Structures are given as C-alpha cells and as structure tokens.
C-alpha cells in the first residue's frame, strides 16, 4: 500500500475537468496518495456529505491501523514483543482474521506478520530509504524466527501470539480494505454508481450512466497507464509494483515487497494487476503474486480465487490468463510480448 493518511483536502473538483453534468469528483490525500472519489448521477449536497463521511472514516483508519505511528496497532505489536496478550480494537479484528485466510491461501507469500523485516529494510518510514541492505545475519535471524499469521489467535477480542517476532504491518492490504469500507459507506448512503480510486487501485460499482466505468491499469514504470479496461458491476482493480517504493543504494533498487521465505526484496517482477470482487483481497493478492513471480503466480492466484491476473516482468513481458487478456486493452503503441497461461 502506498503510505498513508495525512488526510488533507486537496481540491473540490465539481465538474471542473469534465463537461459531463452528472459526474461528481472529489480528491482526498490519504494513504500517502490521492484518493479520487467519482459519483455518477447524484445531488451535489448529498455527494459532499458522503465524501466528508469517507474523509472522517479514513482519518480514523489511519490512526487505528498504522504500523509505525503510535496508535492501537503499534500497541498490539509492543504487547506481542513482550510476550503478552493484547485487546484488539474492533476495526482491526476483521483485518487480522481476513489476513490469516489470505496468508494460508498464498502459502505465506502474503505475510503481514513480517513488520520486523520491513523495519530492518527501512520500509517502515514515509521517506524513501537510501541505505545499504541490512546485515545478512540480521535478515537470516528474522527468517528463521518465521513470524506468520498462524502464530496468532483472537478469542473474545483478545489476541495472543506464540511467536514474539510477529509484528503486524498491513501495508499490503489496508488500502484495499479501506476502499471496500468507503464503497460500503457510499452504498449505505444510497449511491450505486461510484469509483473509489487510491492512486490507481480502485473499486468501482454500478456504471457511468449508460456506459460502464472505464479505468486505467497503472504502468509498471510508474508513469501513466499501461492498459485500459471496463469494470462490470462491482469490481476492484489493484496493481502492486516495485516502482512505487524502494530503497535505492549504489544504483541498486530494492523493492518494498519482501519475499518472506528469504527476507530479501523480490526481483524480476515489475508489476502485478488483479481484478477481483473486493478490494481487500485484490490488494493482498496483487502483493502475493509479485512474490510468487512467473513460476508460481498461477497456482497462488487459483488458491486465492483470483479470476483475472496480469504480471509484467523486468523485460516487459506480460503474463496473464485468457480471461484477463480478453479484458485489457493496451494503450495504442504498446504491444508487449504476451505469454498466456491456462485458465484460472
Ligand atoms: P502493496 O503496494 O499493496 O504491494 O503493498 C506493499 C507493502 O506491503 C510494503 O510497503 C510493505 O509494507 C508490505 N509488504 C511487503 N512485502 C510483503 C509481504 N510479502 N506480505 C505482506 N506485506 C508485505
Ligand atoms: Mg497489496
């Protein structure tokens, strides 16, 4: 997840960029990225109320789920490190429980218990680190300690961990889950046609009037879009990549996505895009498939239940399943080499 929620209103773009009268768009800066909220066919005043409500929700999530700014999650991490049990605030319980399922389905490649490793690499910071890789022995010690989501149990809201090296960091999942909650909030307020788009990761519901919503897939090099696709009904499109956050030291880029089996940043994959029926699982799956890489993405996608996935490797080769191929339209002038997999 791109970081985090210094929640500030940037602008209110009411029909400013588009001649379409029924489109309401507003931007918030949250999760260290711009979140665009688009609503179709709504009254301005109701739309403003909805966006203010989402703004307040995001501020609370920022505080409650942050992995290193002091708050409820860092308090839980401190209790785990001391070998003590901890009371879990209600908003974190479904995050932990869903993450346990995704951890198992991904064979541990999505592992939000590796906060210590992320911290060791300097990725628990809003600054981009520029430092040499950590000492090999320090990495190996944390890999041997093998913190995982199966080490924790929650009973009646109280969490205990059998492994004191578990430190939660939901950076790969929380943006998707937050976007799901924003969509839930919009639906509860009566909005059926909307997109909540956090820096290119989005969930769309309904349509844009007579037409389906059309969205971009982020380019692996981080600029512009690689492809476009139409979203149908209620779908989430999430992309994970190594261009977003990384440690650059002496000309070598170390991406912020770590392989929990080795403790080292993933190599070879520049981005993974998935389409799925909810943002939280799409977010976790995109990260897991970056770790899985060319040789294992198909199996892991099947285990998680992903029906559309696309990987781009460092050479620009695109790997995807046939159903995904039928949906993506590459930008004109872009004709990557495509390797088609079996169906998912
Ligand atoms: P995303 O942009 O959704 O792929 O999330 C990347 C973020 O997830 C990183 O900045 C880390 O905070 C965290 N992360 C890195 N590697 C993993 C992993 N293997 N499993 C779970 N979270 C990870
Ligand atoms: Mg993710």
Residue 124 predicted with pLDDT over 60: yes
| Torsion angles phi and psi, residue 337, rounded to 5 | -70, 130
**Please, are residues 228 and 329 in contact by the beta-carbon 8 Å criterion?**
yes
pLDDT, average across residues 26-53: 93
Nearest-CA neighbor of 287 among 278, 277, 297? 297
Say how far residue 22 (Cα) sits from the centre of its chain. Answer: 29
Distance 171 CA to ligand 1 centre (A): 5
pLDDT number for residue 8: 33
Residue having the nearest C-alpha atom to atom 15 of ligand 1: 257
pLDDT number for residue 241: 84
Half-sphere exposure of 188 (CA within 13 A, CB side): 11
If pLDDT is split at 50, 70 and 90, which confidence band does 262 have? very high
Mean of the per-residue pLDDT values for the chain?
91
Q: Torsion angle, CA of 109/114/117/121, rounded to 10 degrees?
A: 70
Residue 145 predicted with pLDDT over 80: yes
Among 67, 257, 296, 311, say which to mutate for ligand 1: greatest number of ligand atoms within 8 Å of CB: 257
Query: How many C-beta atoms surround the C-beta of residue 220 within 10 A?
Result: 23
Residue 224 predicted with pLDDT over 90: no
Specify which residues 28 forms β-bridges with.
Answer: 9, 35
pLDDT, average across residues 213-239: 89
pLDDT number for residue 222: 65
pLDDT digits (tens, 9 = 90+) for 54-95: 999 999 999 999 999 999 999 999 999 999 999 999 999 999
pLDDT number for residue 220: 75
Q: Provide the percentage of residues in the chain whose pLDDT is more than 70.
A: 92
- First vs last C-alpha separation in the chain: 25
Task: Look at residue 207 and give its three-state secondary structure.
Answer: coil
> Quick one: which atom of ligand 1 is closest to the CA of 244?
2
- The Cα-based distances of 54 to 49, 83, 85, 207, 281 in angstroms read 9, 36, 32, 20, 20
pLDDT, average across residues 277-298: 98
Q: How far apart are CA 70 and CA 55, in angstroms?
A: 21
pLDDT number for residue 219: 81
pLDDT, average across residues 221-238: 89
Q: For ligand 1, is residue 151 a contact (CB within 6 Å)?
A: no
pLDDT number for residue 151: 98
Residue 336 predicted with pLDDT over 50: yes
pLDDT, average across residues 128-149: 93
| Torsion angles phi and psi, residue 284, rounded to 5 | -60, -40
pLDDT, average across residues 286-310: 98
Distance 112 CA to ligand 1 centre (A): 7
Q: How far apart are CA 284 and CA 106, in angstroms?
A: 9
pLDDT digits (tens, 9 = 90+) for 180-222: 999 999 999 999 999 999 988 999 999 999 999 999 998 877 6
> Is the pLDDT higher at 16 or at 171?
171
Task: Look at residue 89 and give its three-state secondary structure.
Answer: coil
Tell me how many degrees the CA angle 179-234-207 measures, rounded to the nearest 5: 105
If pLDDT is split at 50, 70 and 90, which confidence band does 246 have? low
Distance 172 CA to ligand 2 centre (A): 4
**Please, are residues 215 and 228 in contact by the beta-carbon 8 Å criterion?**
yes
> Quick one: which atom of ligand 1 is closest to the CA of 238?
3
If pLDDT is split at 50, 70 and 90, which confidence band does 112 have? very high
If pLDDT is split at 50, 70 and 90, which confidence band does 253 have? confident
pLDDT number for residue 170: 98
Task: Look at residue 106 and give its three-state secondary structure.
Answer: coil
Q: For ligand 1, is residue 263 a contact (CB within 6 Å)?
A: no
């Amino acid at each position: 997840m791109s970081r985090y929620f210094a929640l500030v209103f940037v602008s209110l773009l009411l029909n400013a960029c588009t001649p379409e009268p029924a489109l309401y768009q507003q931007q918030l800066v949250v999760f260290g990225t711009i979140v665009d909220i688009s609503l179709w066919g709504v009254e301005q005043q109701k739309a403003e109320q909805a966006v203010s409500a989402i703004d307040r929700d995001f501020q609370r999530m920022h505080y409650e789920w942050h992995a290193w700014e002091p708050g409820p999650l860092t308090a839980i991490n401190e209790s785990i490190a001391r070998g003590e049990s901890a009371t879990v605030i209600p908003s974190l319980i479904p995050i932990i429980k869903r993450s346990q399922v995704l951890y198992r389905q991904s064979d541990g490649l999505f592992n939000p218990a590796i906060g210590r490793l992320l911290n060791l690499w300097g990725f628990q910071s809003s600054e981009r680190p520029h430092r040499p890789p950590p000492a090999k022995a320090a990495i190996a010690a944390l890999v041997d300690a093998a913190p995982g989501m199966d080490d924790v149990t929650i009973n009646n809201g109280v969490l205990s961990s059998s492994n004191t090296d578990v430190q939660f960091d939901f950076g790969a999942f929380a943006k998707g889950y937050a976007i799901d909650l924003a969509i839930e909030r919009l639906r509860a307020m009566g909005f059926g046609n909307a997109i909540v788009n956090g820096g290119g990761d989005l969930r769309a519901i309904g349509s844009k009037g007579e037409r389906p919503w059309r969205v971009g897939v982020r380019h692996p090099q981080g600029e512009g879009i690689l492809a476009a696709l139409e979203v149908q009904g209620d779908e989430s499109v999430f992309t994970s990549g190594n261009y977003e956050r990384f440690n650059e030291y002496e000309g070598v880029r170390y991406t912020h996505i770590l392989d929990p089996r080795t403790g080292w940043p993933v190599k070879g994959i520049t981005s993974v895009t998935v389409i799925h029926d909810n943002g939280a699982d799409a977010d976790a799956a995109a990260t897991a498939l970056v770790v899985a890489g060319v040789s294992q993405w198909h199996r892991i996608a099947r285990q998680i239940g992903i029906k559309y996935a696309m990987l781009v490797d460092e050479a620009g080769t695109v790997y995807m399943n046939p159903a995904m191929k039928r949906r993506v339209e590459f930008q004109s002038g872009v004709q990557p080499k495509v390797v088609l997999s079996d169906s998912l």
